[in-house]
């Protein structure tokens, strides 16, 4: 009883042990935790895992072709009329009463000895198909990981944008209070206050847009993870670095700038390529299995049968038989030809699909490498722009304090600084996303 209670407690608290981070509202998830949850709960992945069970059942069925087919049958019938019959012998009439019950039983086994090697090729095709499905599931896991990474990056990016917008609204409010104080002191004019209030309204509008984007990106991430999109969950902003050094950028690019080498790695590492290789092998084996129908079929059989009006006399009324059967296909209305042609089409289709996938992989590697190069340039441009706009903003504020700069110049300087901050945030997270997408395109996890 104690052991049973321990098992029940373990069963009840297991979900909390696996996913303690989603046990309550307002919980914070890291990137790794989001990926682990997605690998457990993503709907597409759950469906794909079921395909493994189907493929395993197909393999068992192919193996079963090597085993004998065994059957058993038991029957009962009862005669309902003509039960009493009269037999006449000279001047004597004998009344005969028949037993109305009829019992029968049969058992049999049949074993294929040779079928043109169809069993061997079917088994090979089923085995390759199972491995192909498994590789497909592994590739889907990689796809889900990169989807989670993209969505998580978008959430963090939007969080940073919201933070920047909030900080600049606070700065705008501070500037407005200073202008009001200056107006009361007779130093500034009323139109400057109106201008700043209008600018502050624009900043608040931009903040609302950023908050909406943040909400949408969170819902999208939760959907990918297989969770309800309205869950009250936060995401750890420190899971992805907020900046990157030139040394890190150069080091990664120097190791991943050879496009031909990246394509070779992709063709060797990617699970979807391996899956198509096995699918092609399975289609080739299926064609050979279909061609086996051109050959004779040899099988052995054995059986036992019994019939009686009563359930007895098994030894005397039972019959046991052994047999050997040779079936030679002479003409079957071209059905075998059709089966072979269908298998040939499947084989050709598998070859074409593999070629298409290889071209897609080459294009993906080229595209992600180009995206990495562009993101590196964006990093450099945004870094220079942020530094320049920061200095200009500080200078303009000092000039405004002594009356050497107008409100319009101050607002323009603030807007440039905000845009530079936003561009820097976008550039940093675009770089990390481009880097991850390149590694994913060549089948490498990091």
- Nearby residues of 182 by Cβ (< 8 Å), 6 or more positions away: 188
d(CA 281, CA 129): 9
Number of continuous H segments (helices) and E segments (strands) in the chain: 11, 8
Domain count of the chain?
1
d(CA 331, CA 136): 40
The pLDDT confidence band at residue 325, using thresholds 50, 70 and 90, is: very high
d(CA 389, CA 172): 17
So what's the pLDDT on residue 403? 82
pLDDT, average across residues 398-404: 86
Reported as a single tens digit per residue, the pLDDT across 101-135 is 899 999 999 999 999 999 999 999 999 999 999 99
So what's the pLDDT on residue 73? 95
- Please report whether residue 62 resides in a domain: yes
| pLDDT > 50? residue 65 | yes
Reported as a single tens digit per residue, the pLDDT across 123-166 is 999 999 999 999 999 999 999 999 999 999 999 999 999 999 99
| pLDDT > 80? residue 318 | yes
Domain CATH code at residue 408: 1.20.1600.10
Contact 282, 128 (CB under 8 A): yes
- Please report whether residue 285 resides in a domain: yes
| pLDDT > 80? residue 379 | yes
Q: Report the Cα 276 to chain-centroid distance in Å.
A: 17
Q: DSSP state, 238?
A: G
The pLDDT confidence band at residue 10, using thresholds 50, 70 and 90, is: very low
High-pLDDT (> 70) share of the chain, %: 90
So what's the pLDDT on residue 392? 94
Q: Which is nearest to 293 in space by CA: 347, 332, 325?
A: 332
The pLDDT confidence band at residue 83, using thresholds 50, 70 and 90, is: low
**HSE-up of residue 303 (Cα within 13 Å, Cβ side):** 17
| pLDDT > 60? residue 6 | no
| pLDDT > 90? residue 23 | no
- Nearby residues of 351 by Cβ (< 8 Å), 6 or more positions away: 280
pTM of the predicted model as reported, rounded to 2 decimal places = 0.83
The pLDDT confidence band at residue 306, using thresholds 50, 70 and 90, is: very high
pLDDT, average across residues 293-298: 92
Neighbours of 105 (CB within 10 A): 17
Contact 87, 96 (CB under 8 A): yes
* Lowest-pLDDT choice from 74-83, 214-223, 322-331: 74-83
d(CA 119, CA 424): 63
213, two tokens:
């984007």
| pLDDT > 50? residue 20 | no
So what's the pLDDT on residue 16? 41
- Please report whether residue 177 resides in a domain: yes
So what's the pLDDT on residue 301? 95
- Please report whether residue 282 resides in a domain: yes
d(CA 260, CA 219): 38
Q: DSSP state, 22?
A: G
So what's the pLDDT on residue 19? 46
Angstrom distances, CA of residue 201 to CA of 168, 207, 215, 318: 12, 10, 21, 100
| pLDDT > 80? residue 446 | no
What is the chain's length?
Answer: 446
So what's the pLDDT on residue 420? 94
* Lowest-pLDDT choice from 58-62, 212-216, 249-253, 307-311: 307-311
Q: Which domain holds residue 339?
A: 21-69+115-297+334-441
- Please report whether residue 84 resides in a domain: no
- Nearby residues of 148 by Cβ (< 8 Å), 6 or more positions away: 31, 34, 35, 38, 221, 224, 225
Reported as a single tens digit per residue, the pLDDT across 271-281 is 999 999 999 99
Mean pLDDT, the chain, whole residue set: 89
Q: Which is nearest to 235 in space by CA: 250, 222, 248, 226?
A: 222
- Please report whether residue 92 resides in a domain: no
- Please report whether residue 99 resides in a domain: no
Contact 152, 222 (CB under 8 A): no
So what's the pLDDT on residue 74? 95
> Is 10 or 96 the better-scoring residue by pLDDT?
96
Contact 100, 80 (CB under 8 A): yes
- Please report whether residue 314 resides in a domain: no
Contact 438, 369 (CB under 8 A): yes
High-pLDDT (> 90) share of the chain, %: 72
């Amino acid at each position: 009883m104690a052991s049973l209670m321990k098992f029940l407690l373990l069963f009840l608290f297991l979900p909390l042990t696996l996913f303690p981070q989603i046990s309550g509202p307002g919980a914070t998830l890291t990137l790794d935790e989001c990926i682990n949850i997605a690998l457990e709960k993503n709907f597409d992945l759950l469906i794909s895992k079921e395909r493994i069970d189907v493929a395993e059942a197909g393999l068992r069925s192919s193996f079963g072709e090597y085993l004998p087919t065994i059957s058993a049958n038991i029957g009962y019938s009862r005669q309902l009329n003509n039960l009493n019959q009269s037999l006449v012998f000279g001047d004597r009439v004998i009344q005969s009463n028949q037993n109305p019950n009829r019992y029968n039983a049969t058992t049999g086994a049949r074993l294929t000895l040779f079928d043109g090697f169809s069993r061997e090729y079917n088994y090979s095709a089923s085995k390759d198909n199972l491995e192909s499905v498994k590789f497909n599931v592994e590739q889907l896991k990689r796809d889900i990981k990169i989807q989670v990474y993209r969505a998580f990056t978008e959430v963090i990016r939007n969080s940073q944008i919201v933070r920047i917008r909030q900080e600049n609204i606070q700065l705008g409010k501070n500037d407005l209070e200073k202008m009001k104080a200056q107006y009361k002191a007779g130093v500034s004019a009323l139109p400057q206050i109106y201008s700043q209030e209008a600018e502050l309204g624009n900043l608040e509008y931009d903040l609302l847009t950023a908050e909406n984007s943040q909400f949408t990106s969170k819902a999208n991430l939760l959907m990918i993870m297989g969770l309800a999109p309205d869950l009250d969950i936060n995401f750890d902003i420190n899971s992805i670095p907020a900046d990157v050094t030139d040394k890190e950028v150069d080091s990664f690019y120097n190791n991943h700038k050879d496009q031909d080498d990246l394509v070779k790695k992709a063709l060797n590492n990617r699970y979807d390529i391996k899956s198509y290789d096995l699918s092609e092998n399975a289609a080739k084996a299926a064609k050979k299995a279909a061609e086996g129908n051109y050959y004779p079929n040899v099988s052995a059989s054995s059986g036992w049968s019994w019939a009686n009006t009563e359930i007895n006399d098994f030894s005397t009324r039972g019959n046991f038989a052994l047999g050997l059967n040779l079936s030679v296909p002479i003409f079957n209305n071209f059905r075998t030809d059709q089966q072979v042609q269908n298998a040939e089409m499947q084989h050709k289709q598998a070859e074409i699909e593999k070629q298409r996938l290889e071209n897609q992989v080459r294009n993906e590697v080229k595209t992600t490498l180009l995206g990495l190069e562009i993101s590196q340039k964006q990093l450099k441009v945004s870094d220079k722009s942020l530094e320049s706009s920061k200095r200009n903003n500080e200078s303009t504020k000092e000039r405004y304090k002594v009356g050497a700069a107008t409100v319009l110049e101050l607002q323009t300087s603030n807007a440039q600084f905000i845009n530079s901050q936003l561009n820097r945030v976008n550039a940093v997270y675009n770089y990390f996303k481009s880097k991850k997408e390149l590694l994913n395109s060549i089948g490498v996890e990091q």
